[in-house]
Amino acid sequence: MLERMQVGLGVVEGENESVDNAINDKVNDAYGFIYALANFVAPLSGSLFYTSLGSPKSCDYLAFANFGLAILFFVFNCGIFCF
């Protein structure tokens, strides 16, 4: 995520210490927000799936969703360097 912000802003790491610190702060804030949001939403969505579908189906659907998200993550983050 840090490299993506540096490329998007056209900043080279190490040229300006204050810009590097500002970018690091923004990346840390975004990571903290995403982590906190995931810790809040995951139990809610898990209980919603469990109550609406039952235990075996909800586990299967969540496993397929996680597999699909892992594929998307690989394609958009790692696929650029592989292809």
pTM, two decimal places: 0.53
Q: Evaluate whether 39 touches 65 at the Cβ level (below 8 Å).
A: no
Contact 5, 27 (CB under 8 A): yes
Q: What is the pLDDT of residue 68?
A: 94
pLDDT per position as a tens digit, 6-52: 677 776 677 777 777 787 888 888 888 999 999 999 889 888 888 88
Give the tokens for residue 4.
Answer: 């993506």
Q: What is the pLDDT of residue 5?
A: 66
pLDDT in tens, 47-80: 888 888 887 888 888 889 899 999 998 888 776 6
Sequence length of the chain is 83
Report the alpha-carbon distance of residue 63 to residue 56 in Å, rounded.
Answer: 11
pLDDT of residue 30: 85
Residue 83 banded pLDDT, cuts 50, 70, 90:
low
